Amino acid sequence: MDTSSSPAPDLRAAHDAHISPNSRLGLALFAVYLALYLGFMGIAAFKYELFASTPFGGVNLAILYGMALIVAALVLALIYMMLCKPER
């Protein structure tokens, strides 16, 4: 009598086939956001005076970039939600 708590091999394979592509997609979108965030932190650390510039309508770059990060997070979340494979 087998008392192991692991799922049957066919269920495990189906689970992995569903989770693996979604994991890769999530990591790719995370890498995109990380690049955006590292750009923000790079400016803050090495070119802080650049944040004082006002490229659009008198709003400084720090505010614009910060709001863009928030919008990018929401957009990436929506992309992930649309592209994730549904569980079968």
Retrieve residue 38's tokens. Answer: 């590292």
Residue 12: its pLDDT value, please? 66
Model pTM score:
0.74
Residue 21: its pLDDT value, please? 82
Residue 65: its pLDDT value, please? 96
Q: Report d(CA 38, CA 11) in Å as an integer.
A: 40
Residue 88 is assigned to a structural domain of this protein: no
**Domain count for the chain:** 1
Residue 5 is assigned to a structural domain of this protein: no
Q: DSSP character for 84?
A: S
Residue 62: its pLDDT value, please? 95
Buried residues in 13-42 as b, exposed as e (16+ CB within 10 A): eeeeeeeeeeeeeeeebeeeeeebeeebee
Residue 4 is assigned to a structural domain of this protein: no
Instruction: Find the helix packing angle between 61-83 and 9-46, rounded to 10°.
Output: 170
Tens digits of pLDDT across the chain (88 residues): 455 566 676 666 666 665 678 888 999 999 999 999 999 999 999 999 999 999 888 999 999 999 999 999 999 999 999 998 776 5
Range of the domain at 34: 11-83
> What does 52-65 look like in DSSP terms, one character per residue?
G---BTTB-HHHHH
- Measure the N-to-C terminal CA separation of the chain; round to a whole number of Å: 30
Residue 15 is assigned to a structural domain of this protein: yes
Residue 15: its pLDDT value, please? 60
